[in-house]
């Protein structure tokens, strides 16, 4: 395999190091805007066309991240007939149908194992499970930063700002951690997981996402006493009478302490699927980091070299989400008590807020968006079945 590697940041360097130990794979080019004097075994270039026009290069690895220029680079690579391996969850979850369609049309592989779960062999096993079984749901803690923050609040009794500041000082959280704490990172991973599990192409932005920005110590303390741990969970499941529709959402979730999800600490992730034949299966491990993520990318290289295709189904059905058909109880703390939805909610007092009876995911997320648009305070957490 002869490779063009796009991007030489944290993960790019990890992939480069791992590939350097293999005789069957050669990085011929590294595409980066910076001069990279430490790269002596590959040509460093800024010229995408130089790589794409080289017939010796059969595979490109995109680790630039973000939407642009990664989107154009990946599209051009597929059009040029190169296999593409990427860890780019934003790109894939936003342009899934188009890029998978293009890979199929050109007869090349598009693999993205590292885009959800980092080093955990999640998407690859999910796609294998979906070949044989009907997947009913995927769910889990897919973001290490938020798990670190919530774990510090739960175990050490820290408040949100203190826990986040510490995560930033230790280098776990980004300088701008919005995408993590507002649930967008988990949203991309949930959308991708739904696509692989159900053979659909859900629209990333249609996945309801409410993060942990507004959580307070009083929320975690109150529920800890009652045997619950707060976690940010991404979930996608089949809904409707015959499971004909799909719901997908990201929300803070109150989880009984005696569950696998309730015992994930630090930056670790846990992701699970539930399928016919196999039941519920959990995957736990490092969801981020140079070498765990680099490892997953190189696994994709090995699979491409072995002639495996993508992680997707033969069919790819654009699917509008039906979050109105998924419902469970919620903990809700808000001062937006004049809103008609709040007034008609069946609820009992719980801590500084209320515990509701089952309401639909879309109604609760809509309410939170309305509250925030009115400058009101709102925090909620779901109580799904475990
Ligand atoms: N920011 C992500 C996390 C990195 O905290 O899990 C891995 O996608």
Same domain flag for 204 and 170:
yes
Q: Which pair of structure tokens corresponds to residue 207?
A: 């996945």
Is 144 touching ligand 1 by the criterion CB < 6 Å?
yes
The residue from 111, 142, 163 where one domain ends is 111
Domain end: 82, 111, 140, which one? 111
**For residue 95, what pLDDT is reported?**
97
For residue 99, give both structure tokens.
């890029």
Ligand 1 and 234: CB distance under 6 A: no
The CATH number for 26's domain is 3.40.50.720
pLDDT (0 to 100) of residue 309:
85
- Our answer on whether the CB atom of 143 is closer than 6 Å to any ligand 1 atom is yes
Boundary residue ending a domain (111, 146, 179): 111
Ligand 1 atom closest to the Cα of residue 142 is: 6
Closest CA to 199 of 322, 320, 319: 319
Active-site residue flag, 189: yes
The pLDDT of residue 170: 84
pLDDT at 314: 78
Q: Which domain holds residue 90?
A: 2-111
Residues of the chain with pLDDT under 50: none
How remote is the CA of residue 145 from the centroid of ligand 1, in Å?
6
- Residue 81 sits in the same domain as residue 140: no
Looking at the 3D structure of the chain, how many domains does it have?
Answer: 2
Tell me if 301 is assigned to some domain.
no
Residues 223 and 372 in one domain: yes
What CATH number has the domain bearing residue 262? 3.30.360.10
Mean pLDDT, the chain, as a whole number?
A: 96
Confidence (pLDDT) at 296: 97
Catalytic pick among 89, 158, 189, 231: 189
What pTM did the predictor assign?
Answer: 0.97
**Whether 149 and 87 share a structural domain:** no
- C-alpha 122 to ligand 1 mean position (Å): 15
């Amino acid at each position: 395999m002869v490779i063009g590697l796009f991007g030489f940041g944290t993960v790019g360097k990890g992939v480069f190091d791992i590939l350097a130990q293999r005789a069957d794979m050669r990085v011929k080019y590294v595409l980066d805007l910076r001069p990279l004097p430490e790269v002596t075994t590959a040509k460093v270039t800024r010229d995408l066309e130089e790589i794409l026009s080289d017939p010796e290069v059969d595979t490109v690895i995109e680790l630039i991240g973000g939407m642009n220029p990664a989107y154009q680079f990946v599209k051009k690579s597929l059009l040029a007939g190169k296999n593409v391996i990427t860890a780019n969850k934003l790109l894939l979850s936003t342009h899934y149908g188009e890029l998978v369609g293009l890979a199929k049309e050109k007869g090349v592989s598009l693999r993205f194992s590292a885009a959800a779960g980092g080093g955990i062999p999640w998407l690859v096993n999910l796609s294998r499970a979906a070949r044989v079984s009907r997947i009913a749901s995927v769910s889990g803690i897919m973001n290490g930063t938020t798990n670190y923050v919530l774990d510090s609040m739960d175990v050490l009794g820290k408040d949100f700002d203190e826990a986040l500041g510490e995560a930033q000082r230790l280098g776990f959280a980004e300088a701008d951690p919005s995408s993590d704490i507002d649930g967008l990172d988990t949203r991309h991973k949930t959308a991708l997981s739904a696509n692989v599990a159900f053979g659909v192409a859900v629209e990333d932005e249609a996945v309801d996402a409410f993060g942990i920005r507004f959580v307070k110590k009083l929320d975690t303390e109150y529920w800890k006493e009652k045997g619950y741990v707060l976690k940010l969970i991404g979930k996608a499941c089949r809904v409707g009478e015959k499971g004909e529709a799909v719901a997908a959402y990201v929300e803070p979730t109150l989880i009984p302490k005696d569950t696998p999800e309730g015992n994930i600490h630090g930056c670790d992730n846990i992701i699970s699927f539930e399928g016919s034949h196999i039941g519920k299966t959990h995957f736990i491990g490092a969801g981020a980091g140079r070498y765990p993520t680099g490892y997953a990318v190189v696994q994709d290289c090995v699979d491409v070299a072995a002639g495996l295709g993508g992680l997707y189904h033969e069919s790819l059905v654009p699917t509008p989400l039906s979050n109105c058909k998924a419902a469970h109880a919620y903990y809700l703390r808000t001062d937006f008590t004049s809103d008609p939805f709040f007034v008609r909610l069946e609820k009992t007092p719980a801590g500084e807020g209320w515990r509701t009876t089952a309401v639909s995911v879309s109604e609760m997320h809509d309410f939170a968006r309305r509250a925030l648009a009115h400058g009101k305070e709102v925090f909620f957490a779901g109580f799904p079945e475990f």
